[in-house]
Amino acid sequence: MDAQAFREFGKAAVDFVADYLENIRDHDVLPSVEPGYLLDLLPKQMPETPETWSEVLKDIDRVIKPGLTHWQSPNMHAYYPTSVSYPSIVGEMLASGFSIMGFSWICSPACTELEVVVMDWLAKFLNLPQHFLHENEGPGGGVIQGSASEAVLVAVLAAREQAVRRLRLSQPELSESEIRGKLIAYSSDQSNSCIEKAGVLAAMPIKLLPAGEDLVLRGDALKHAIEQDVAAGLIPVICIASLGTTGTCAYDDIESLATICEQNDVWLHVDAAYAGGAFALEECSELRRGLERVDSLNFNLHKFMLVNFDCAAMWLRDANKVIDSFNVDRIYLKHKHEGQTQIPDFRHWQIPLGRRFRALKVWITFRTLGAEGLRAHIRKHIRLAEQFEDLVKADERFELIAPRALGLVCFRAKGDNEITSQLLQRLMERKKIYMVKAEHCGQLFLRFAVCGMDPKPSDIEFAWTEIESQLTSLCAEQQVNSRKAGELSELTHHLSGLHLTNETLQR
């Protein structure tokens, strides 16, 4: 493909994307395909000779689009939002147009330096503590990781290596493998699966401590666990707190956790993948309490900052603790300015060597939306969730399972779990809206998250009408069924009086 064909293909693709996003409400949010649909539609081998871009674009419309779950639809209410914005899409394309690697400064100075700039911009926008800024020339700073999972894993691995080094000095009688065998980490039983997975990957068990009834993890639970573990000869390493949790967006109590971590030389990491966006709002300043005492923090820009995945911000109080743990350098990676300046070589801050120019889409998005645009977006999510919460509260057939938190409402149909489960099944089959279920203390509930690129009050109305009308239908059907069951049982009783056999009845 030459540059001229690219100009045509690229512009057609821009229109394709604009048309798709402008008309996203035309599609059911969930696709109507069965597993394997695409395997049957596509050839078993790549074509030997080139095909034209227009054929390919037609196929994207014909075979790919029908198999998409539309995450940018306002009828997406599953998981947490994965929001894109128009400027971010352009930023991603420009970055792939440059296709540079950013593993060291010399590899593309603009890549490293723009990341320093936007991570400081973001830290200030979110009102994070000063020691997380690059401009302070301290050992702290921010970095873009691929995902929250990676950010958590980086914190877990760095904390592990730091603990091993510390213990080798303080307890020289222990071998390295004895030390590693005693390491233990903590999180809440409400935390994201990626935290437990980080423990598996790091070969360091992560104890999932029981959150309170309000689903919040507090210092006393951590204190109790640490006391028990230390008594049993274990070595506490890191606690991963959540702001907020995946199930209900509960906020762990950072202040009391920090106190226990400080007393026990335990690394405190905060996974604020979703709620971190609210740090930007004065009315949510309570959420930031204790952040000046944490060692590291992660926040997903695709959740609230309208920058498309992947783009997970991570801040470290002391980046040297990660660099020390991960640096395995080779001569071909060295460059003249290495280590001489305050410009980080971000490859030492992360797991992979390679890195994309992700700062570009962040910069473009921040500049074209402005701080006021970003704040307005978060506030809109909160307002729409309030609207949904009011609708739930006003319908006595439903109940909230936890307080609304930011853009998330957790609710269920009153009564046993079966009705909520059946309701979700109907909604999934109808494919108009997409929610997922979760469970707490044996109670099944539905998570309604405000998502999509540009959700509106009418979308919330639409979702609510869908939910409550399906509950109405479900209950009506159940009444019919139970009346039928009653009639059938009466009939059976009557027939059995006639001494007819079951076999006759079933014919």
Nearest CB to its own copies, comparing residues 93 and 495: 93
Calculate the CA 256 to chain-centre distance.
25
Neighbours of 317 (CB within 10 A): 20
Burial 336-363 (b: 16+ CB within 10 A, else e): eeeeeeebbbbbbbbeeeebbbbbbbbb
Residue closer to its own copies by CB (options 210, 370) is 370
- Please, which residue, 147 or 387, has the CB nearer to its own copies? 147
CB of residue 21 to its own copies, shortest distance in Å: 7
Question: Least distance in Å: CB of 396 to its own copies?
Answer: 27
Tell me phi and psi for residue 307, to 5 degrees. -100, 130
Distance between CA atoms of residues 187 and 79, nearest Å = 20
Q: Is 445 helix (H, G, I), strand (E, B) or coil?
A: strand
In this complex, which beta carbon is closest to its own copies, that of residue 5 or of residue 491?
A: 5
- The residue annotated as part of the active site, out of 192, 298, 300, 308, is 192
Return the number of the residue (260 or 402) whose C-beta is nearest its own copies: 402
Rounded to the nearest whole angstrom, what is the least distance from the CB of residue 285 to its own copies in the complex? 19
- What is the radius of gyration, based on Cα positions, of the chain? 27
Q: Give the nearer residue to its own copies in terms of CB position, either 223 or 437.
A: 437
CB of 213 to its own copies, least distance (A): 20
Report how far apart, in Å, the C-alpha atoms of 439 and of each of 248, 279, 428 are: 10, 28, 18
- The H or E element that residue 298 is part of is strand 296-300
**Residue located via tokens 């979308």:** 459
| Residue in 51, 105, 122, 70 with CA at minimum distance from that of residue 455 | 70
Instruction: Round to whole Å and give the CA distance between 490 and 460.
Output: 45
Give the pair of three-digit tokens for residue 278: 């609210």
- Cα separation, 178 vs 174, in Å, equals 6
Q: At what angle do helices 109-125 and 359-393 cross, to 10 degrees?
A: 30
In the complex with its own copies, which residue's Cβ is closer, 379 or 437?
437
**Strands, E, within 362-407: which ranges?**
398-400
CB contact set of 384 (below 8 Å; sequence gap of 6+): 407, 450, 455, 456, 457, 459, 460
Amino acid at 117: V
* Least distance CB 152 / its own copies (angstroms): 10
To its own copies, the closest distance from the beta carbon of 94 in angstroms equals 6
User: Least distance (Å) from its own copies to the CB of residue 483?
Assistant: 30
Identify the DSSP state of 33: -
28 with 432: CB under 8 angstroms? yes
Per-residue tokens: 83: 């929001």
DSSP reduced 3-state for 402:
coil
The count of other CB atoms within 10 Å of the CB of residue 463 is 26
Torsion of CA 488, 494, 500, 501, to 10 degrees: 40
Of the two residues 256 and 420, which places its CB atom closer to its own copies in the complex?
420
**To the nearest whole angstrom, how small is the minimum distance from the Cβ of residue 248 to its own copies?**
11
Number of other residues whose CB lies within 10 A of the CB of residue 309: 16
Residue type, 39: L
Identify which of residues 147 and 422 has a Cβ nearer to its own copies in the complex: 147
Catalytic, 327? Answer no
Shortest approach of its own copies to residue 443 CB, angstroms? 12
- E-assigned strand segments in 131-213: 141-145, 183-188, 206-209
Active site residues: 192
